[in-house]
Amino acid sequence: MAANSQFSIAVHVLAMLAKSCDERIKSDYLAKSVNTNPVVIRRLLCSLHEANLVVSQTGACGGTCLSKQPEEISLLEVFNAVAKSEVFSLHPNTPNQDCFIGRNIQRVLGGLQTEIDAAIQGKLARYTLRDVIESVEDKTVAV
């Protein structure tokens, strides 16, 4: 499948916006840095806008800028704005309910999924866009 890279692109774009402070940035410019089509960026910005992370303006001299300070934007917010976190999917077809395992396995797997989800979200909640920018600027730091 074409893997979902929306989160990566979102972080990239938001980092660009953060570096530009209050200046409005055009989707064309962002697209060149991300190396994709401007419409892909605009679609993404739309999701970020719905999550109240950015503000856009149409028209001449339009563009997008952050709606908050970088330290107020956690990566969890970004993730929830553009991605879904399921590490694995449950059965595509309902298991046979006449079978003891089939009748109960989805409940168990669902619980596991929830637990893993919480772990992922916990990790993401620890970082803000500010941390990302600092990591980008510091070649010695991992995240």
Partner DNA sequence: TTGGTTTGTATCAGCGCTTGTTACAGAAGT
Partner DNA sequence: ACTTCTGTAACAAGCGCTGATACAAACCAA
- Where do contacts with a second copy occur on this chain (CB under 8 A)? 1-9, 11-12, 15-16, 19, 32-36, 75, 79, 83, 85-96, 99-102, 104-109, 111-112, 114-116, 119-120, 122-124, 127, 132, 135-137, 139, 142-143
CA–CA separation, 17 and 21 (whole Å)? 6
- Residue 63 contacts which entry, a second copy, DNA, none (Cβ below 5-8 A, type-dependent): DNA
Compute how many residues bind DNA; rule: CB under 7 A.
34
Q: Does 140 bind DNA (CB under 7 A)?
A: no
Nearest CB to a second copy, comparing residues 33 and 52: 33
- The vertex-75 CA angle with 35 and 30, nearest 5°, equals 20
Query: Shortest gap between Cβ of 17 and DNA (angstroms)?
Result: 11
Query: Shortest gap between Cβ of 47 and DNA (angstroms)?
Result: 9
- What is the residue-wise DSSP string for 48-84? HHHTTSEEEE-STT-EEEESS-GGG-BHHHHHHHH--
x/- map, 78-97, DNA, by CB under 7 A: ------x----x--xx----
Instruction: Find tokens 């694995």 and name the residue.
Output: 88
CA–CA separation, 36 and 38 (whole Å)? 7
Query: Shortest gap between Cβ of 106 and a second copy (angstroms)?
Result: 8
- Residue 132 contacts which entry, a second copy, DNA, none (Cβ below 5-8 A, type-dependent): a second copy
List, in order, residues 6 or more apart from 7 with CB less than 8 Å away: 78, 79, 82, 83
For residue 51, give the nearest of 21, 24, 84, 73 by alpha carbon.
73
Q: Does 114 bind DNA (CB under 7 A)?
A: no
Instruction: Find tokens 């009748």 and name the residue.
Output: 103
